Chain A
Amino acid sequence: MNRGWRVRTACCIASLALCALFGCSFTREVVNGYVRDLDTSWIEPGRTTRDEIIARMGRPPAVLGVGQHAGDGLSQFFAQRLSVRPSGMDAKGEDVDATGLSVFRWTAVDSREGTFEAGYWIVPKFSKGVLHRRHDILVLFDERGVVKLLSRTAVVDGMVRILEWKEVQ
């Protein structure tokens, strides 16, 4: 084998090894992104009924992505403002809380993860996942099935931001 071949082989091996040594990935997962585009501007607390909402928007999905409602900080947020028991908010998109109010809840979740792997055969792997943003539409009905509260909130970095808040006075 001449010198040129040796150099070429060494370079190829070194390059392949370099490629196999590390890698990184950026992933993103969006659940029910369409929720962000739902129009709720026509909903008037005190006037709009549950039936009207069902007719125009349908009902929220009963099956949600894993962890969508867990530890989101929203339950506590509403519990402080409305005396709604947090457990009533955590269970499902639609649930009945302790005060007998019906709840419709649509949720969009946007999470991201970045991973750096030191190598395919080497163990160190660094990954960081963040819940980038959640968007919630919450509608509370009174015992007659009339909207009592409409809220749109975004949770960004654990902070709840109110995008829309309409409540019966």
Chain B
Amino acid sequence: MSGHLTRIVLTVVLAAFCSGCMWSRVRMNDPDIVERARAIRPGVTKAVELQEILRAQPTRKRPEGGSVTYEYSYADSRTKMFSIIILTFSRTENVTETLYIETDAASGVVTRVPKLVRHEPEWRFWPFGDDEKGE
């Protein structure tokens, strides 16, 4: 009898600690727009060509002095979850960014494409600890 019980308890404990993982990714607009923007040549490319090159509509078009800035916002979000049935750990890493393209208001020619950096969110599940450095 005690042998049966031990096995049952062991099975239940093992079952309780059966783990599961989940990965989820959500994107707002297309972060690959940064790669396509490398084809833009300041001084040559015109604002009317941007849609064809980037294959996207600007999120916002904003006049700034003598120029017009086209803003393309995008976001990338990654969630990783680890679960042991009654206990769940999860972490979501979000990155929101904007590609700015400045054009001359009069000629419509692109004058500047600021530094293009794409930050990739990481896959991490452990929610504890501190990422801060030297603070």
A63 and B95 form a contact (CB under 8 A): no
Q: Nearest A residue to B134 by beta-carbon distance? A: A163
Q: How far is the CA of A161 from the CA of B132 in the complex (A)?
A: 13
A7 neighbours in B (Cβ, 8 Å): 1, 4-5, 8
Interface size class of A (residues with CB under 8 A): 35 or more
Which residues of B have CB within 8 Å of A62?
A: 59-60, 71, 73, 98
Jot down 22 A-B pairs with beta carbons below 8 A, ordered by A. Answer: A4-B4, A15-B8, A19-B16, A19-B85, A19-B86, A24-B88, A26-B128, A27-B91, A28-B90, A28-B128, A29-B94, A30-B91, A31-B94, A32-B94, A32-B95, A37-B133, A54-B114, A54-B115, A57-B115, A63-B73, A133-B132, A154-B135
- In the assembled complex, which residues on chain B have CB atoms less than 8 Å from the CB atom of A161? 135
- A15 to B9, alpha carbons, bound, how many Å? 9
Which residues on A sit within 8 Å (CB–CB) of B8? 7-8, 11-12, 15
Please name all residues of chain A whose beta carbon is closer than 8 Å to the beta carbon of B28 when the two chains form the complex: 63
A29→B60 CA distance, assembly (Å): 27
Chief secondary structure at chain B's binding surface? mixed
Identify the A interface with B (CB < 8 A): 4, 7-8, 11-12, 15, 19, 22-34, 36-37, 54-65, 110, 112, 133, 135, 154, 161, 163
Is B50 an interface residue when CB atoms closer than 8 A count as contact? no
* Complex interface: chain B residues within 8 A of A19 (CB): 15-16, 85-86
* Cβ-neighbour of B127 out of A11, A57, A112 (below 8 A): A112
- Known: A7-B4, A27-B127, A61-B73. Contact between A34 and B89, CB under 8 A? no
Chain B, interface residues (CB within 8 Å), range: 35 or more
Cα-based distance from A8 to B131 in the complex (angstroms)? 47
B33 adjacent to chain A (CB < 8 Å): no
Contact partner, B1, options A4, A15, A37, A65, Cβ 8 Å:
A4
CA distance in complex: A92, B83 (Å): 37
Complex CA distance for A113 and B86, rounded to whole angstroms:
16
Give Cα A60 to B100, complex, Å. Answer: 10
A51 to B60, CA, bound (A): 21
Question: What A residues does B115 contact at CB under 8 A?
Answer: 54-58
Q: Which residue of B lies closest to A34 (CB)?
A: B119
Q: How far is the CA of A11 from the CA of B115 in the complex (A)?
A: 63
